[in-house]
């Protein structure tokens, strides 16, 4: 799976006041892979995601996406960069004043100059691709269930056919059936659109079902990367209890490690 | 997506379709960034050739499927040539998901939609009025039950709310009433002076302040200050399921949350009204003295001899009713909050608007009643 690194993080340091979240973190994400970021609560998974997409300023270190630095890029370059990635936030983060279809149209409206009919047609394609029914298009976010909001958030994230999609806890708060349907969706979409997926999760089943590679965050850096099978060999106590616990064994026994 | 792995820094080539004998040769970048410069040929295609395409994404697949659909209108089914597996998959996805009708998906609302909306709003308003009435009934029953068994009353909570809605509102209420008194004296003086009837400014101030303005303006300030606070605090408890937790523990939310607030407001609003009356008279007297030379002694003696005590009574009778309206509406809207922060914000503003409106409407009813009763 070693190819061109599309995201490269070197020596990342982030801190909130005196609290250091990452201290010298290194990570590479390669084109076309689905990488799962795991770690205990408060280990800075979501903070890492926010730093990579430029929502959070790093105290030190370099983050490049497509060889463009995220931190100190001119606004025009950064705008170009944003066309090439999509972000799905934990609860979808849909704009509450817009319908689902309008939410998906927002990135197209802002970044491109498409004719209205075509924009609507393409947005409708994306809404259907994430498995939402047609009658959901005109609904407001407050009328949707949690799972549907996440799907709509994913539709907005892939609206511009990005090369990288960032997903923050995509299956948190979903029931097991909804969660495994979402796992399938992530794999299917990443194949169909050739996506690189940067996935932050707690969910062992999601890791098992979707990820090509896993990066474990602990002690303020990336402790280990590799496939699920590789994780079994890591000596660190946290990694052992995470990947060797009863829940993990239940997840692996379902389909067998990939 | 970037199926050929070209960095996007490359200059994009505009997409072009060259057609010859039903063979459509696509060339350039068929991506969202440039697809708006593409015009689809009108004549039907037999073969769509993708071998010249550099970059290809959903927008490109949209163009291909649109060409296919145009050809299908005249009954032919074009073949696709030179597509990579990934491109072919994307086209297949679009065939499945692309809307058949190109008509706009967002319909413009017509007259019927407006009528339907009016109907819905009316029904909604009526059912809300009914449940508000039901809530009022429940609160009255609960409060009378509490009065019969005072040991069940939450005294600490009630005293706390009396401090919140009463004591803490004294500065703003008295300043507001003082300024209103000043304004009345100032405006009245300008008018009355032209008749040489300056001294009647005392009646102007005392009657309008004691009968109407003192208590009405106090109620409006309290509605904005405490009614909204009731909605916000009960609403956020509802949002975090605290109310449901109370019910499962056998606690009645009306008894625990609503009754102390409503009772505290009913006790404190008349007191605030009295304070407002005094502050208003003080402001009026001060301004009359400065502006018209009516000395405080004259002001006091005219006030005592010419203003009936009933003016004060008429104003104060209304206070508990206003308090009940503000308290009931504030708590009711709080109980209506659903699981999200938007409804909390919306209902807090509804609570303030509705209670101010209801206070003014009831004040008008009282005016008519007192006029008919001849008080």
**Residue B252 C-alpha, separation from nearest chain A C-alpha, in angstroms:** 29
Which of B62, B102, B105 lies nearest to residue A137, judging by beta carbons? B105
Any B CB within 8 A of A28 CB: no
Question: Average pLDDT, stretch A140-150?
Answer: 86
> For residue B162, is pLDDT > 90?
yes
Let me know: does B49 contact B24? Beta carbons within 8 Å: yes
Tens of pLDDT, residues B65-97: 888 888 888 777 888 888 888 788 888 888 888
Out of A238-247, B63-72, B152-161, B306-315, the most confident range is B152-161
Pairwise CB contact (< 8 Å): B7 & A66: yes
Out of A106-120, A242-256, B230-244, the most confident range is B230-244
> For residue B300, is pLDDT > 80?
yes
Pairwise CB contact (< 8 Å): B90 & A192: yes
Pairwise CB contact (< 8 Å): B59 & A163: no
- Separation of alpha carbons A5 and A68, rounded Å: 12
Q: Is B76 exposed, middle or buried (0-12, 13-18, 19+ CB in 10 A)?
A: middle
Higher pLDDT, A256 or B277: B277
Pairwise CB contact (< 8 Å): B36 & A115: yes
Question: Average pLDDT, stretch B174-201?
Answer: 89
Per-position b or e across B178-205, b if 16+ CB within 10 A of its CB? bebbbebbbebbeebeeeeebbebbbbb
Question: Average pLDDT, stretch A59-87?
Answer: 79
Which of B32, B93, B99 lies nearest to residue A121, judging by beta carbons? B99
> For residue B99, is pLDDT > 80?
no
pTM above 0.95, yes or no: no
Instruction: Give the best residue of A77, A193, A195, A196 to mutate against chain B (max B CB count within 10 A).
Output: A193
Percent of chain B with pLDDT over 90: 50
Instruction: Give the best residue of A66, A84, A125 to mutate against chain B (max B CB count within 10 A).
Output: A125
Confidence bin at B101 (pLDDT 50/70/90) = low
> For residue B6, is pLDDT > 50?
no
Pairwise CB contact (< 8 Å): B62 & A125: yes
**Residue A176 C-alpha, separation from nearest chain B C-alpha, in angstroms:** 23
Confidence bin at B103 (pLDDT 50/70/90) = low
> For residue A192, is pLDDT > 80?
no
Any B CB within 8 A of A132 CB: no
Pairwise CB contact (< 8 Å): B8 & A66: yes
Instruction: Give the best residue of B11, B32, B57 to mutate against chain A (max A CB count within 10 A).
Output: B32
Three-state DSSP state, B315 = helix
What's the confidence (pLDDT) of residue A72? 67
What's the confidence (pLDDT) of residue B1? 43
Confidence bin at A57 (pLDDT 50/70/90) = confident
Question: Average pLDDT, stretch A50-71?
Answer: 83
Pairwise CB contact (< 8 Å): B35 & A66: no
A-chain residues within 8 Å CB-CB of B33? 83, 112
Confidence bin at B102 (pLDDT 50/70/90) = low
- Separation of alpha carbons B237 and B339, rounded Å: 10
Question: Average pLDDT, stretch B349-368?
Answer: 95
Question: Average pLDDT, stretch A77-98?
Answer: 83
- Separation of alpha carbons B253 and B243, rounded Å: 6
> For residue A201, is pLDDT > 90?
no
Q: Provide the ipTM.
A: 0.73
Tell me which residue of B332, B130, B341 sits closest to B234, measured CA to CA.
B332
């Amino acid at each position: 799976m070693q190819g061109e690194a599309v995201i490269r993080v070197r020596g990342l340091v982030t801190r909130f006041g005196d609290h250091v979240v990452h201290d010298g973190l290194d990570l590479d994400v390669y084109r076309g892979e689905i990488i799962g970021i795991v770690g205990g609560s408060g280990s800075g998974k979501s903070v890492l995601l926010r730093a990579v997409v430029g929502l959070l300023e790093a105290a030190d270190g370099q983050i490049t996406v497509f060889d463009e630095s995220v931190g100190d890029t001119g606004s025009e370059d950064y705008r170009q960069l944003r066309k090439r990635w999509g972000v799905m936030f934990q609860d979808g983060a849909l704009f509450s004043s817009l319908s689902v279809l309008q939410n998906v149209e927002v990135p197209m409206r802002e970044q491109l100059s498409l004719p209205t009919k075509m924009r609507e047609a393409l947005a409708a394609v994306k809404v259907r691709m994430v498995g939402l029914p047609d009658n959901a298009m005109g609904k407001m976010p407050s009328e949707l269930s949690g799972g549907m909001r996440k799907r709509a958030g994913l539709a907005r994230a892939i609206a511009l056919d990005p090369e990288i999609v960032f997903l923050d806890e995509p299956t948190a708060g979903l029931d097991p059936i909804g969660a495994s349907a979402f796992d399938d969706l992530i794999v299917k979409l990443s194949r169909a659109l050739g996506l690189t997926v940067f996935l932050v999760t707690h969910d062992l089943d999601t890791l098992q079902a979707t990820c090509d590679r896993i990066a474990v965050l602990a002690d303020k850096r990336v402790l280990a990367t590799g496939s699920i099978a590789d994780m079994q060999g890591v000596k660190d106590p946290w990694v052992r209890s995470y990947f060797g616990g009863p829940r993990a064994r239940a997840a692996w026994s379902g389909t067998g490690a990939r | 997506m970037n199926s050929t792995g070209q960095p996007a820094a490359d200059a994009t080539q505009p997409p072009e379709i060259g057609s010859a004998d039903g063979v459509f040769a696509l060339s350039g970048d068929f991506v969202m960034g440039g697809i708006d410069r593409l015009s689809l040929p009108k004549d039907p295609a037999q073969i769509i050739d993708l071998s010249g395409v550099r970059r290809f994404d959903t927008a490109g697949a949209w163009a291909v499927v649109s060409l296919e659909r145009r050809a299908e209108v005249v009954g032919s089914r074009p073949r696709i040539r030179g597509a990579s597996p990934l491109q072919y998959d994307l086209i297949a996805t679009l065939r499945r998901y692309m809307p058949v009708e190109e008509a706009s998906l967002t319909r413009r609302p017509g007259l019927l939609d407006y009528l339907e909306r009016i109907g819905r709003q009316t029904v909604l308003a009526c059912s809300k009025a009914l449940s508000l009435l039901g809530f009022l009934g429940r609160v009255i029953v609960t409060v009378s039950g509490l009065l019969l068994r005072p040991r069940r009353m939450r005294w600490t909570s009630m005293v706390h709310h009396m401090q919140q809605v009463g004591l803490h509102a004294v500065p703003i209420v008295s300043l507001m009433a003082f300024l209103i008194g000043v304004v009345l004296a100032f405006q009245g003086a300008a008018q009355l002076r032209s008749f040489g009837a300056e001294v009647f400014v005392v009646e102007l101030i005392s009657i309008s302040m004691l009968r109407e303005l003192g208590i009405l303006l106090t109620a409006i300030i309290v509605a904005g200050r405490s009614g909204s606070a009731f909605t916000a605090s009960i609403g956020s408890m509802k949002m975090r399921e605290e109310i449901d937790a109370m019910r499962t523990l056998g606690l009645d939310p009306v008894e625990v949350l609503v009754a102390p607030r409503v009772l505290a407001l009913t006790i404190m609003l008349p007191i605030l009204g009295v304070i407002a009356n005094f502050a208003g008279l003080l402001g009026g007297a001060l301004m009359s003295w400065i502006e018209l030379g009516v000395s405080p002694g004259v002001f006091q003696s005219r006030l005592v001899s010419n203003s009936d005590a009933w003016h004060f009574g008429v104003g104060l009778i209304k206070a508990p009713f206003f308090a009940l309206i503000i308290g009931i509406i504030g708590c009711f809207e709080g109980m209506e909050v659903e699981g999200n922060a938007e409804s909390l914000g919306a209902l807090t503003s509804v609570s303030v608007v509705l209670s101010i409106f209801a206070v003014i409407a009831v004040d008008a009813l009282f005016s008519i009643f007192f006029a008919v009763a001849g008080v």
